[in-house]
Structure 1
Amino acid sequence: MKTVQHLKDKGKKTAVWMSVILLVIIGGRLIYGNEDNQDTLTFLKTSLTNDNHTPATYMKPETALDSDEVQGRESLSESMGFLLLYAVEAGKESLFEEQYQLLVDYFMDEEGLIYWKIDSSGSPGVPVNALVDDLRIVKALYAAGDQWNKTKYTDTAEQAGSYISRSLTYQSTLVDYSDQSSGGTAHSLTLSYIDVEGIDLLRQQGHIDPDVYDTTIDVLEEAEPKNVFYPKAYSVEKDSFSYDEEINMIDQMITANNRAQLGLPSNALISFIKEEMEQNGVLYGRYNPSDFEPVVKYESPAVYGFLIMYAIQLEDKELALKAYDRMTAFRSNHMSYRGGYSIHEGNTHIFDNLVPLLAIEKLKHTGWI
């Protein structure tokens, strides 16, 4: 018969081993959390980079039927914005310089227009830009100029900011895009494009008047959720909001995060998100706003990446780590794709890799991983 002391000793050993296992698990998250972005950067370089070093949107060079859609190896200003923001966040000056050169060589014209997309050889198509991408790039350029004391970054930010002020307003409101070939601008503003930090930076630097800032921010403040979800866009011309029939959760979280930067709560939306995560363990890409049921069965690492950044804004560690664990479940350990996210039939979208890249870097800075 085992003695009481023997059982106590065995219990102590079990407790020690459980502690060791727990430390290994936690340590594994910490260690891998410090390594995974390097794996993802390597994947981006080997699988999602064109011969001219511009970031490719897809791994495969497929051609879309609609020329307005992104073709396989085309390169987006959206990708440049996320890469530049990541380089600043991670303190990678050489990476920033590399992407900066690509920006000025391929994406910007002499007027300060940033093309929303270029082809795989670096040739631009129609001279159209996108407000949200421009704002990310401008934020990154100003931050890099301050961080590394490089005036050329600040000068380029000034050039891009000046173009936004000249070309992206309608009735004293910032709008989605401008088309240099026609001289026209959009008459609407997508709510997820209202990057409060970027717009405030334009105001501070004197690129937009206070009334343009106020009118644009008012759109975000006045947006009312319908059945939990925020409007997709605001028509400046009609002074009215429009709502999607299918809700894109990325748009919702970016909009809520933008509002949070103004100190505005989004209680109904965050309650829905938490309930989905608690009950189903997942957050799908699109939902029906009438019955709150998912209309797709796919998950996106980008959805979880934006949820992480929103949770950081809310100082909600538990939610951030839930999103982190689910997001990294889509990261490949396969030798050919190690570090890449959502690889399906040898293909992936760069957006589903860049958003996690930035989200993880921001999460590291909180000390939560």
Structure 2
Amino acid sequence: MKQVTVFFLVLVLVVAAAAGLYRLYDNTRSLPEEAAERFLTRWLTNENGTLATYIQEGGEEEEDEVRGREALAETLGLWMEYVYEKEDDKRFDRAYSQFRRLFLAEDGFVYWKLEEDGTAEVTSNALIDDIRIAGVLMKAAERWGKDYYEETAREILTFVETHNMYDGVLTDFYERRDKYAEDTITLSYIDAALLQDLAEADMLSAGPAAATGALLMDAPLSGPFYPKAYNVERGEYEYDEEVNILDQALAALHQAEAGTVSEPFLAFVETELEERGLVHGMYDLDTAEPVVSYESPAIYALLVLYAIEIGETELAETLYERMEAFQVTRRTSLYYGGYSIHDDNTHIFDNLLPMLARQQWEEQ
């Protein structure tokens, strides 16, 4: 009888230990994508359904900056890409309706940001937002047979081609109040492959699409780094002394999607991971040494997409694991499923871009 009792006691202890190990594993493994979606719904969604930029309210800011619960057209475009890739036509249509209702003016002008209540105080658009949204609307029209998506894309692109133009090149923004187009194009704004697709679909003139795309494809590197921008008026590339890797990763991704791989930039990312075990947020242009200590899941997400695009699977896996380390996996946390929470706050891009990267990672 005593032996039986001991046996059952040991069995209970083994089961308990196994359950403990499972809980430990369960709290550190990759979470289901619904966890990140629920985090966005709970913490980064305004009452009117727009996606907020931060959890916390912010203070006063310049017109070209973002604070607190303001909503960005860029964010909505990324969300539309996410639900399009999930083949979720219902959520895509809701996002489209929000876009038409709040972000799109009657003449095709797109407000680049909104206040928390959905009102617009800015008077400029942003090329990267407009092109992304038009592109995903074009694809959605073809997939789901909804002509009004394509009609809206054409409205956006007609305005862009009429106003966001300087000497035959598409530029960063059009200032509606003062009626002028910026004379500079940021390199990370240039999605050369998408511009070509839009031109081939007769939604954008071939000349400006090709001229703008060529500025990215022909950009001269400084060491491993892309220029920050191209000044159309002066006809020259511009470089930041402190390089933002988010911009660099997006430029590299867009160039790769158009068929060109920058070996110096790829080698830079690989070396950073090998020697430091991470990629910092900003680097000195001349020395390629980090000038900040922080990392960003948004940067890792773009680098994951870049590595997948160029077929570097092992690199993509390393970057993916680094990205996932930023997600809150403790189920008892208020911020379960969110990424990069600091002082009860996070940026929407540090959450939405990892969601897009994870989607691509799991589909490859």
- TM-score normalised over the length of structure 1: 0.88
Q: How many residues align?
A: 339
Verify the 8 A CA contact 2:192 2:216 in the aligned structure 1.
Answer: no
CA-to-partner distance for each residue in 1:120-161, whole Å, 9 max, x for gaps?
000011221111111111111111111222222222112112
Q: Distance in 2 between matches of 1:164 and 1:36?
A: 38
Verify the 8 A CA contact 1:199 1:213 in the aligned structure 2.
Answer: yes
- TM-score normalised over the length of structure 2: 0.89
Equivalent residue, structure 1, for 2:293 = 297
Equivalent residue, structure 2, for 1:341 = 339
- How far residue 114 of structure 1 moved from its aligned partner, in angstroms, is 1.1
Task: Report sequence identity in percent.
Answer: 36
Q: Distance in 2 between matches of 1:46 and 1:196?
A: 36
- Work out whether 1:312 is the aligned partner of 2:308: yes
2:69 to 73, 81, 90: 73
Equivalent residue, structure 2, for 1:362 = 360
Which amino acid in 2 is paired with 1:277? L
Q: Distance in 1 between matches of 2:200 and 2:106?
A: 24
Equivalent residue, structure 2, for 1:139 = 135
Q: Distance in 2 between matches of 1:104 and 1:210?
A: 27
- How far residue 28 of structure 1 moved from its aligned partner, in angstroms, is 7.6
SS at match of 1:52: coil
- Mean CA deviation greater in 115-124 or 90-99: 90-99
Please provide the CA RMSD for this pair.
1.8
Change (3 A) 1:228 1:116: same
- Work out whether 1:283 is the aligned partner of 2:300: no
Q: Distance in 2 between matches of 1:246 and 1:314?
A: 26
Q: Distance in 2 between matches of 1:255 and 1:182?
A: 30
- Work out whether 1:350 is the aligned partner of 2:351: no
1:239 to 235, 240, 246: 235
Structure 2 alignment gaps of length 5 or more: 1-21
Give runs of aligned pairs for residues 142-221 of structure 1, distance below 5 A.
142-221=138-217
CA-to-partner distance for each residue in 1:271-290, whole Å, 9 max, x for gaps?
01001011111001101122
Change (3 A) 1:355 1:37: same
Verify the 8 A CA contact 2:192 2:212 in the aligned structure 1.
Answer: no
Change (3 A) 1:205 1:183: farther
Change (3 A) 1:99 1:32: farther
1:49 to 45, 54, 64: 45
SS at match of 2:32: helix
Which amino acid in 1 is paired with 2:36? T
1:273 to 269, 272, 281: 269
Verify the 8 A CA contact 2:192 2:214 in the aligned structure 1.
Answer: no
SS at match of 1:332: coil
Q: Distance in 2 between matches of 1:315 and 1:206?
A: 31
CA-to-partner distance for each residue in 1:191-216, whole Å, 9 max, x for gaps?
10001232113312324322212211
CA-to-partner distance for each residue in 1:318-357, whole Å, 9 max, x for gaps?
0111111000100012431111110011100101111111
Change (3 A) 1:80 1:299: same
Verify the 8 A CA contact 1:138 1:198 in the aligned structure 2.
Answer: no
